[in-house]
Amino acid sequence: MTTIPVMKPWLGEEEAAAAAEAVRSGWVAQGPRVARFEQAFAAHAGTGHGVATSSCTTALQLGLLLLGIGPGDDVVVPSLSFIATANVVRHVGATPVFADVDPQTANLTAKTVEAVVTPATRAVIAVHQAGMPADTDELRTLCTGRGLAVLEDAACAAGSTYRDAPVGAAAELAAWSFHPRKLLTTGEGGMLTLTDPDLADRARRLREHGMNISAATRHTTRQPVLESYLETGWNMRMTDIQAAIGLIQLAKLDTMVTRRRELAAGYRQRLADLPGLYAVTDPPHGQTNYQSFWIRLPDDFPMSRNELLAFLAERGISARRGIMATHLEPAYRGHPHGDLTVTEALTAQTLILPLFHTMTEAEQDHVAAALREAAQGGATR
Ligand SMILES: *Cc1c(COP(=O)(O)O)cnc(C)c1O
């Protein structure tokens, strides 16, 4: 029996040819393809500038550095997120403060953020969880009133929309991931998008060891250029091989989103009559790209979430636990936090169903039938 994977990148010969072309050109580190990918991605996201990075984690870290956040500062984050959202706050020496989330969107709200803001709070990392657009207007209104910066963690959200514009279009700072678990992939990779050109210049410098002139520029100039290092930077660069793949993937992004939304509708239809089951859906303020299609089991479901994962695995279905809760991980043991009731319920009762570009109707039928069998007590087999 072949297993239905939870996610599979949609890669083909075009990506392979683009990567090969970059290799044959002899220019494999950050260069002209990265510059083209940055421009194309920022244009697609409806924002001014893109700064490609090695991952979304480094893009988030770069965002916090640009905001000047460090020791003594608090940054509000959802606990219900991939752990990198909180880790980057620690990476710059600041303290993550966990806020609870909305049960339907799994995102922060102005209310949950307001409940945990302290005098030391400097910023909020607003995650568009699993592609679900966060209500950033509402969050921004709260934050602007209190002098807090907003950094958007759009790791999963390429192709999602918020109030008829791409997610991140209005963001001062938004960070994106190109890991294969997201839609658009470059293997590993990330991007920081920004509206302010001066901040973008500084981001480029911090990404490349604090150099005042990029290596790419130095190597394309005939005259010798003596670079200098204006501040302590990092190596957060993307390679030209990755960017070559990214350019092809970006051209396919809208098709990917359309297909994922069709498949999500297919699941919603197939699961509509399962009593008490909640399936993630668009919020009133936008459209999700369904980076992850998650469902929440009712309290009286006949088996636990983990039993259900095992039940599905036995039937050749690779589902996953829902979004993790960072405060429950050993790395955050003892880290103080307030009320996270919704976070704890969501992380315990949700699971992510397989959804990938080339998924077939028959595969969806198989997943839906297995869930139905489980909902009936799983005794029919
Ligand atoms: C995947 C993910 C990240 C990390 O992305 P990388 O590119 O793997 O560093 C950060 N935040 C969220 C919400 C994610 O889903």
Q: Which one-letter amino acid corresponds to residue 104? A: Q
- Judged by average pLDDT, the poorest of 109-123, 171-185, 220-234, 363-377 is 220-234
Q: Whose CA is nearest to atom 1 of ligand 1?
A: 155
Nearest CA among 147, 98, 88, 156 for reference residue 119: 147
As a whole number of angstroms, the longest Cα–Cα distance in the chain is 76
Which helix (H) or strand (E) covers residue 174, if one does?
strand 173-177
C-alpha to C-alpha distances, 321 to 32, 77, 318, 331, 352, nearest whole angstrom:
40, 21, 10, 19, 6
Q: Quick one: average pLDDT of 289-311?
A: 97
Q: Is 190 in the pocket of ligand 1 (CB under 6 A)?
A: yes
Tens digit of pLDDT for each residue in 18-62?
Answer: 999 999 999 999 999 999 999 999 999 999 999 999 999 999 999
Q: Going by DSSP bridges, is the β-strand pair 121-127/165-166 parallel, antiparallel, or unpaired?
A: unpaired
Q: Is 56 in the pocket of ligand 1 (CB under 6 A)?
A: yes
Report percent pLDDT > 90 for the chain.
94
- For residue 360, pLDDT over 80 is answered with yes
Sheet strand arrangement including 293-296: 278-279, 293-296, 350-353, 320-321
Tens digit of pLDDT for each residue in 312-350?
Answer: 999 999 999 999 999 999 999 999 999 999 999 999 999
**SS3 letters for 131-145?**
HCCCCHHHHHHHHHH
**Does this model's pTM top 0.75?**
yes
Q: Is 155 in the pocket of ligand 1 (CB under 6 A)?
A: yes
- Binned at pLDDT 50, 70 and 90, residue 221 comes out as confident
Q: Is 64 in the pocket of ligand 1 (CB under 6 A)?
A: no
Q: What is the pLDDT of residue 378?
A: 73
The count of other CB atoms within 10 Å of the CB of residue 1 is 6
Q: What is the pLDDT of residue 295?
A: 98
Atom of ligand 1 nearest to the CA of 55: 7
Q: Going by DSSP bridges, is the β-strand pair 293-296/286-287 parallel, antiparallel, or unpaired?
A: unpaired
Chain mean pLDDT for the chain: 96
**Residue 42 burial (10 A CB sphere; 0-12, 13-18, 19+):** buried
- For residue 219, pLDDT over 80 is answered with no
How far apart (Å, rounded) are the C-alpha atoms in residues 113 and 244?
Answer: 39
- Binned at pLDDT 50, 70 and 90, residue 214 comes out as confident
Atom of ligand 1 nearest to the CA of 181: 1
341 Cα: distance to centroid of ligand 1 (angstroms): 23
- Residue count of the chain: 381
- Binned at pLDDT 50, 70 and 90, residue 262 comes out as very high
Residue 309 structure tokens: 């994962």
Buried b (16+ CB within 10 A) or exposed e, 68-105: ebeeebbbbbbbbbbebbbbbbeebebbbbbbbbbeeb
Q: Which phi and psi (to 5°) does residue 5 adopt?
A: -75, 160
Q: Where are the alpha helices (DSSP H) in the chain?
A: 13-25, 32-44, 56-66, 84-91, 110-114, 136-146, 197-207, 215-220, 240-271, 305-314, 341-349, 361-375
Q: Is 153 in the pocket of ligand 1 (CB under 6 A)?
A: yes
- Binned at pLDDT 50, 70 and 90, residue 380 comes out as very low
Between residues 283 and 221, the one the model is more confident about = 283
Q: What is the pLDDT of residue 377?
A: 87
Confirm if 131 and 157 have CB atoms less than 8 A apart: yes
Chain-centre distance of CA 376, in angstroms?
Answer: 34
Atom of ligand 1 nearest to the CA of 130: 15
Domains of the chain (ranges plus CATH)? 13-250 (3.40.640.10), 253-375 (3.90.1150.10)
The count of other CB atoms within 10 Å of the CB of residue 354 is 23
Query: Which of 177, 178, 191, 294 has most ligand 1 atoms within 8 Å of its beta carbon, as the pocket-test mutant?
Result: 177
Sheet strand arrangement including 95-99: 49-53, 190-194, 173-177, 149-153, 121-127, 74-78, 95-99
Helix, strand or coil, per DSSP, at residue 116 = coil
88 Cα: distance to centroid of ligand 1 (angstroms): 11
Q: What is the pLDDT of residue 379?
A: 54
Q: Quick one: average pLDDT of 137-152?
A: 97
170 Cα: distance to centroid of ligand 1 (angstroms): 20
Q: Is 128 in the pocket of ligand 1 (CB under 6 A)?
A: no
Residue 140 structure tokens: 């921004």
Query: What letter does residue 238 receive in the DSSP assignment?
Result: P
Q: Whose CA is nearest to atom 5 of ligand 1?
A: 56
Residue 235 structure tokens: 């190596």
Q: What is the pLDDT of residue 381?
A: 43
Q: Whose CA is nearest to atom 6 of ligand 1?
A: 56
Q: Is 85 in the pocket of ligand 1 (CB under 6 A)?
A: yes
Q: What is the pLDDT of residue 1?
A: 66
Q: Quick one: average pLDDT of 259-267?
A: 98
Q: What is the pLDDT of residue 243?
A: 98
Catalytic sites, residue numbers: 182
Which helix (H) or strand (E) covers residue 159, if one does?
none
Atom of ligand 1 nearest to the CA of 127: 13
Query: Which of 129, 156, 323 has most ligand 1 atoms within 8 Å of its beta carbon, as the pocket-test mutant?
Result: 156
